[in-house]
Amino acid sequence: MKNKILPVTVTFIFIMIFVTFYKGLQDSNIYTPETSSNNEIPAFSVRLFYSNEIINSSEIFDLDQFYLLNIWSSWCVPCRQEHSLLMDLVKNKNIKIFGLNYKDKKSNAKIFLKELGNPYEKIIFDIEGVNAIELGAYGVPETFLIFKNKIIKKYIGPLNQDSIEQIKQLIK
């Protein structure tokens, strides 16, 4: 009798573990971040890229203007891929493009901008990544469409032609 209890118990435990893992595979807990919002821009202090001047985020954005805040880094390959789209979008007078340089060396960022062009009217230098986190960013590249001090739309990942067309439609 003792000889039969051990194999039956081990088999039962194995079956229970298998069923638990199998059900876990069926459960889809994929997190999809929110891309459209109406959140106010948080108030925080930022350091400007070229002047090293520290200003409040509330001093950056006018209420009656559309802004595109692009989080980028020189080491980010997708940032390099989307950069030509930003260079084309800067020609649109209905929007101002600001950059947030994320966890980057300033010298590398300057080389990046010299090589590919500078579409940004102002650049925030975020060496620690704190400002990006306060905005609700997950990484680079990310882009926020802002109007009246509110984030209207959030683009996670590199911009593409479809997202640029969507931005143009929103700022008409």
Is the pLDDT confidence value at 29 over 80? no
Alpha-carbon torsion (76, 80, 85, 87), positive or negative: positive
Rounded CA gap, 36 and 29, in Å?
Answer: 20
Domains and CATH numbers, the chain: 36-170 (3.40.30.10)
Residue of 36 and 110 predicted with greater confidence: 110
Secondary structure element (H or E) that encloses residue 71, with its range? strand 66-72
Integer-rounded Cα Rg, in Å, for the chain is 23
Looking at residue 36, its pLDDT comes to 52
Looking at residue 8, its pLDDT comes to 84
Instruction: Read off the pLDDT of each residue in 100-124 and give the average, rounded to a whole number.
Output: 96
- Beta-carbon contacts of 44 under 8 Å, excluding residues fewer than 6 positions away, are 56, 57, 130, 131, 134
Instruction: Read off the pLDDT of each residue in 115-125 and give the average, rounded to a whole number.
Output: 95
Instruction: Read off the pLDDT of each residue in 88-103 and give the average, rounded to a whole number.
Output: 94
What's the pLDDT tens digit per position in 53-69? 999 887 888 778 999 99
Confidence of residue 31 (pLDDT cuts 50, 70, 90): very low
- The reported pTM is 0.77
